[in-house]
Amino acid sequence: MQDFLIINTLGYPILSLLIFLPLAGVIPLLILKNDEAAKYSTLAVTTLIALISLTLYFKFDKTTALYQFGEHHAWIPMWDINYTLGIDGISLLLILLTTLLMPLCVLCSWNYIKTRVRPFLACLLIMQTSMLGVFMALDFVLFYILWEAMLIPMYLLIAVWGGPRKIYASIKFFLYTLAGSVLLLVAIIALYLHNDPHTFSIPQMMGQDYSSVFQIYVFLAFFLAFAIKVPMFPFHTWLPAAHVEAPTAGSVVLASVLLKMGTYGFLRFCLPITPEASLTMMPYVLWLSVAGIIYGGFTALAQSDMKKLIAYSSVGHMGFVTLGIFVFNVQGIEGALLQMINHGVTTGALFIMVGMIYERTHSRELAMAAGVGKFMPIYVIFLGFFSLSSLAFPGTNSFIGEFLVLVGAFAKTKIVAACAIPGAVLAAAYMLRMLQKVVWGGTNNPDQSYLTDLNVREIITLAPLLLFVLWIGLNPAPFMDVMHTSVNHLIQQVGIADAGPQGIFEVAKLAIPQ
Amino acid sequence: MEIASCKPLYAVLAALIGSILVSMAGRKPNFREGLSTVAAVIMFLIIASMVPDVLAGKMLKCTVFDILPGLSVTFRVDAFSMIFALAASFLWIIAVFYSMGYMRGLQEHAQTRFNTCFALALFGAIGVAFADNLFTLYLFYEIVSVCTYPLVAHHQDEEGYMGARKYIVYLTTTAKGFILPAMILIYVLTGTLDFATNISTGIFPPGVNSTLVTILYILCIFGFAKNGVMPFHHWLPGAMVAPTPVSALLHAVAVVKVGVFSTTRVMLYVFGVDTMSALNLGIPTAYFVSFTILMASVIALSKDNLKARLAYSTVSQLSYIILGVALLTPTAIEGGLIHITNHAFSKITLFFCAGAVYVAAHKKNISEMGGLGRTMPFTFAAFGIASLSMIGAPPVAGFVTKWKLLVGTMEMESYYVGILLVLLASTLLNAAYFAPVTYKAFFGKRPKGEKYEGIKEAPLSMVIPIMVAAIISVLIGIFPGFMMQFVDRVTPDNVAVAMPQYKPEGAPAFVPSVKAHGAPAETHGAPAENHDGAPAGH
């Protein structure tokens, strides 16, 4: 049972602590009557969680692909349901991303949320619990419960604190995700019954010799659930609606963390549990990814609403992530993992920045934000960096991610990779268009002279994200090091280690001589 | 021989820190311009201080960031980068003075932004010059694109936004659409993006699919659209809506030279002369850019707006550089590379003159400038000198280029007749569109009803930079030796061995020298003697 798990040796159950601390943070919200105090208490709790989570990084053993900091308690022994937690190089960075973003979400909602402040903060904290749980769970039932639990606070975030069409958007979000979840449940139960002895342990389901047909069915069920979450073209239509209506913090959580659960699902379940089916379906997934990249780019180019623009850009960026995952080589998967983090950092920051404009002008229309640059120079400097990061400017985080994904893709299949290149061009087009409009506008901009530049709180919100943009962009080694072992192990699990080119240096040998 | 040195980094940082300080000194114009000058002078001095090492055959290297295996931000200073870096950093100093006169003379708005972006553009340009690998090159290439956008859109009117949009769309689309995939494919094929240390071998391992290499080559030629090769040249005339100092420094020196420098750097140090000859890429490239040379000249003939004419002249002249390198004979390569400097000094003079005319007389069109030369003698005299350089007449810089290119063409074994005709035809065209400007200014009639009342010579802060640039254009024409030392070190002897079409006996201007890597050759003891007056001597 324990052969895949390294039991936590820190002396305190760090993973459980991280999961339950946010829930504990809800308690003061129930007691406190003062909104300001509630904000400070939530900020303190989320910051504490962020600091604790850093321990994970420093104590993480980079040399093993086993699940670390493990906790294992029997829960419902009759059906072999356990409370099993553990993390590896694939989930570590996503957990850190989640914990580091939450204080920023609280900060960016400081003045944005004016009604029902305490319930809002409670929703954020419950979100955090379930998000962290999803990334840590190694038992399918536990995973599924947390996966579903996430829907409710997210639904509330949109439906209660959202914009004018919040009911439409929240229901759409809920129905789409639920549809995927139902199939996920079916797949989980099918896997449970197929294993002998029956088990819900995720690592034990990996590496089993399921029949090809069974794999295909399970893969398809998984795929639909995760593809909706990512969202992959053509399952993306809930995303722009949800983003546009969600409050800033909701958009940030949605874009930075929730979308990653889909791609995390591909890495954690599809590839190791149904490797054969993954290989069979690979071409289709690759082409869907490319379609998403191009489609997201073109649609983003046509938007006049800044939030929609960034939402559609997410479709494109996540297309790069799925492209990287399904080329099944080290560069592709590591690039995809890094790109997940990058997208979380950059798109999160961009949503925060749109929120800042919205707080001031009460509009997300590009035309209304035109020419802001003259009066908000600090804002514009931040926006410039994050926009450049979003279009994968060299020297920023996204460039490294996109570069690795494309290296992986070109090593695998040149045609698919070449078809993704226009997506990179489009990213430059729509991001620079937005930047140009916001900074300069045209010859007749609306009067922006009443705008005030960023205050200290807002600068503190954005500064850490900018730090990561440049840090990952110029020195990605600390982030890449933790994933190497796990990614290599994953590729072995997929069992194609010998079939495809692994390192860039081997690829040269494959080149056809003249 | 490689030596580790942080000097390249300091040179690049001088511009970056300068730009940050300038942006903070907005309220005090004199202090701000002072800072620009200091940054420019410091950068030039740092670059100049590396000259002795480079002339001794050393290569200075400095790794700033290690990103992935085979992917790093690394600076290198070798003879090739010096050709561009010296010219660009020196001209920045002149341009700072000139733009002070221009911007204040016209009372332009947003001068702080202008100066900041100007310094940032130089930061990018020197970064490109010192790039040690394709990634660093691409990084700084993109920095130049983004930082010059505000300069092109400076006037913030419809025309400015249109020009700037065209500018950024052309440059980023080609860079992301062509260079990015090319870079990734090269990384996939070779596992590195570092440039080779000589111009012959390139970085491709033997046995790489030749079709793929050809595709990569084509991507690189078109991808660096700043080189102005047709059909992706259209951003350049569009960018002429910018204030003239921008057109002068950026669109005669920094931006366009970043384009040709990148193109030639990749041609010589990624593909290499061997690969290019083996795959027969040189001659088709030469003929392809010949079209640009002739076509742009013809278009220039039809332009009455002086800056537009200069823009198309730039498009045409840039292709000379690529033509020279594409011919793959040592003398032609030298001719192409020396034109980076020659064209920079001459073309900046021409643009400076156009700006001076605009500030002093508010005239943009050539047809309105009849007789203006008598009112503004210094400006138009400088214009005349620089025109001679563009035409390729002795003793101005452009003659050295033409000489080398012609000799280089005759070194080829075959296909040289067409190139010779192109060079001759373009010289005639250059004369046809430059000579009338000076002629009309001095000897032409004033337009009807035009009295040029109240028009004087441009302010001194403009005339002095103009004269300095014009005089240097003449000096590097009479004494090409100084810059030739660098060019000479780029084309070592062993290139000849690699080149099937190269005939040593047909190469009078090429002074063979023993130049094994790492061992400074004897002939370099007095390089100036080899080349001083070389055109006249042969």
Is the per-residue pLDDT at B359 higher than 90? no
Q: Nearest Cβ partner of B191 from A404, A442, A508?
A: A508
Q: Are B23 and B86 in contact (CB under 8 A)?
A: no
| B163 CB-side CA count, 13 A | 23
Vertex A476, ends A473 and A480: CA angle to 5°? 145
pLDDT at B360: 84
How do residues B370-420 score in pLDDT, each as one tens digit? 788 888 888 888 999 999 998 888 888 888 888 888 888 888 877 788 888
User: Among all residues of chain A, which has the CA nearest to that of B135?
Assistant: A394
Q: How far apart are CA A287 and CA B399, in angstroms?
A: 55
What's the mean pLDDT in A303-317?
91
The listed range with the strongest mean pLDDT (A106-110, A165-169, A268-272, A335-339) is A335-339
Q: Is the peptide bond before B231 cis (omega within 30 degrees of 0)?
A: yes
At residue B514, the pLDDT reads 37
pLDDT at B441 over 80: yes
User: Residue A285 pLDDT more than 80?
Assistant: yes
Q: When comparing pLDDT for B128 and A7, which is higher?
A: B128
Q: Which residues of chain B have a CB within 8 Å of the CB of A505?
A: 191
Range with lowest mean pLDDT among A118-122, A254-258, A338-342, B392-396: B392-396
pLDDT in tens, B463-488: 888 999 999 999 988 888 888 888 88
Instruction: Give the pLDDT confidence of A46-57 residue by residue, as tens digits.
Output: 999 999 999 989
For helices B306-327 and B416-443, the axis angle rounded to 10 degrees is 160
Per the CB < 8 A criterion, the answer to whether A420 and A403 are in contact is: no
Distance CA B62, CA B77 (A): 9
On the question of pLDDT at A508 being above 70, the answer is no
| Interchain contact A185–B (C-beta under 8 A) | no
Summarised one tens digit per residue, pLDDT across range A230-239 is 888 888 888 8
| Partner residue facing B207 (CB), from A403, A505, A513 | A513
Cβ proximity of B274 and B200 under 8 Å: yes
Contact assessment for residue A230 and residue A259, using Cβ atoms and an 8 Å cutoff? yes
Task: Name the residue among B158, B178, B351 with its Cα closest to residue B256.
Answer: B351
Q: Please check the confidence at residue A302 and state whether its pLDDT lies above 50.
A: yes
The distance of B305 to chain A (nearest Cα, Å) reads 25
Find tokens 């324990």 and name the residue: A2
B142: nearest CB among A393, A427, A436: A393
Q: Specify whether the CB–CB gap between A29 and A118 falls below 8 A.
A: yes
Q: Are B75 and B131 in contact (CB under 8 A)?
A: yes
What sections of B175-251 are H helices per DSSP? 180-190, 210-223, 235-238, 244-249
The reply to whether residue A511 touches residue B189, judged by beta carbons under 8 angstroms, is yes
Residue A2 pLDDT: 58
Q: Which residues contact A376 (CB under 8 A, 6 or more apart)?
A: A451, A452, A453, A454
Cβ atoms of B115 and B36 closer than 8 Å: yes
What is the average pLDDT score of chain A?
87
CB pairs under 8 A between A and B: 98
Return d(Cα A202, Cα A137) in angstroms, integer: 9
* Across A405-423, average pLDDT: 90
Q: Dump pLDDT digits (tens) for B191-206.
A: 888 898 888 888 888 8
**Residue A204 is inside which H or E element, if any?**
helix A202-205
Check CB contact under 8 Å for A395 and B139: yes
Residues A120/A161, Cβ–Cβ less than 8 Å: yes
Mean pLDDT, range A153-181, rounded to an integer: 88
Q: Inform me whether the C-beta atom of residue B165 falls under 8 Å from chain A C-beta atoms.
A: yes
pLDDT digits (tens, 9 = 90+) for A429-455: 999 999 988 888 877 778 878 888 888
- SS3 category, B321: helix
In eight-state DSSP terms, residue B371 is: T
Tokens describing residue B231: 């059909």
Q: How many CB atoms lie within 10 A of CB A9?
A: 9
pLDDT at B494: 46
Q: What is the pLDDT of residue A322?
A: 93
For B348-372, what is the mean pLDDT?
A: 85
Cα–Cα distance between A161 and B327 in angstroms, integer? Answer: 67
* Nearest alpha carbon to residue B22 among B146, B148, B115: B115
Please indicate whether, in this complex, the C-beta atoms of A475 and B209 are within 8 angstroms of each other.
no
pLDDT score for A496 = 57
Residue B367 pLDDT grade (very low, low, confident, very high; cuts 50, 70, 90): confident
Task: Give whichever of A495-499, B23-27, B321-325, B440-444 has the largest mean pLDDT.
Answer: B321-325
**Contacts of residue A512 in chain B, CB cutoff 8 Å?**
209
Domain range list for chain B? 281-538
Angstroms from A426 CA to nearest CA on chain B: 8
Element (H, E) at B10: helix B7-24
* Sequence letter at residue B311: A
Alpha helices in A12-73 (DSSP H): 14-31, 35-59
Q: Is the pLDDT of residue B498 over 60?
A: no
- pLDDT score at A9: 81
Range of the domain at A72: 2-510
Which pLDDT band, with edges at 50, 70 and 90, does A263 fall under? very high
Longest dimension (CA), chain B: 72
Residue in A407, A424, A442 closest to B161 by CB: A442
Domain count, chain A: 1
Q: Does residue A388 belong to the interface with chain B, where contact is any CB pair within 8 Å?
A: yes
Q: Which band of pLDDT confidence, cut at 50, 70 and 90, is reported for residue B531?
A: very low
Q: Do B209 and A511 touch (CB under 8 A)?
A: yes
Report the amino acid identity of residue B321.
Answer: I
Asked if the C-beta of A477 comes within 8 angstroms of chain B's C-beta atoms, the answer is yes
The token pair at A337 is: 């993992």
Overall average pLDDT of the A136-153 stretch: 90
Q: What pLDDT band is residue B137 in, cutting at 50, 70 and 90?
A: very high
- pLDDT of res. A252: 92
Q: Comparing A288 with B490, which gets the higher pLDDT? A: A288
CA distances from residue A292 to A169, A179, A295, B326 in whole angstroms, order as listed: 21, 21, 5, 40
Measured N-to-C along each axis, helices A117-136 and A89-108 cross at an angle, to the nearest 10 degrees, of 170
Strand order, beta sheet including A5-7:
A5-7, A67-76, A81-87
B245-255 pLDDT tens trace? 888 877 788 88
Contact A387, A469 (CB under 8 A): no
Distance CA B78, CA B61 (A): 9
- Coil/strand/helix, residue B58: coil
- Contact at CB, A436 and B165, closer than 8 angstroms: yes
Among the partner-chain residues B139, B173, B191, the one whose CB lies closest to the CB of A505 is B191
CA–CA separation, B112 and B103 (whole Å): 11
Quote the pLDDT of residue A386: 93
The predicted pLDDT at position B492 comes to 67
Digit-coded pLDDT (tens) for B244-298: 888 887 778 888 999 999 999 999 999 988 888 888 888 889 999 999 999 999 9
Tell whether the model's pLDDT for residue B102 goes beyond 60: yes
What is chain B's mean pLDDT, rounded? 83
Structural tokens at position A213: 């047909």
- Give me the sign of the Cα torsion angle B121, B125, B130, B136: positive
Instruction: Give pLDDT tens digits for B38-93.
Output: 999 999 999 999 988 888 888 888 888 888 888 889 999 988 899 899 999 999 88
Give the pair of three-digit tokens for residue A430.
């729509």
Instruction: Judge contact between A323 and A409, C-beta under 8 A.
Output: yes
Cα separation, B350 vs B387, in Å, equals 7
Reported as a single tens digit per residue, the pLDDT across B184-243 is 999 988 888 889 888 888 888 888 888 889 999 999 999 998 888 888 888 888 888 888
Q: Rg (Cα) of chain B, in Å, rounded?
A: 22
Chain A residues with beta carbon closer than 8 angstroms to that of B158: 442-443
Upper half-sphere CA count for residue A226 (Cβ side, 13 Å): 25
Residue B104 — very low, low, confident or very high, per pLDDT cuts 50/70/90?
A: confident
Nearest to A464 by CA among A356, A386, A380: A386
Quick check: helix, strand or coil at residue A137?
strand
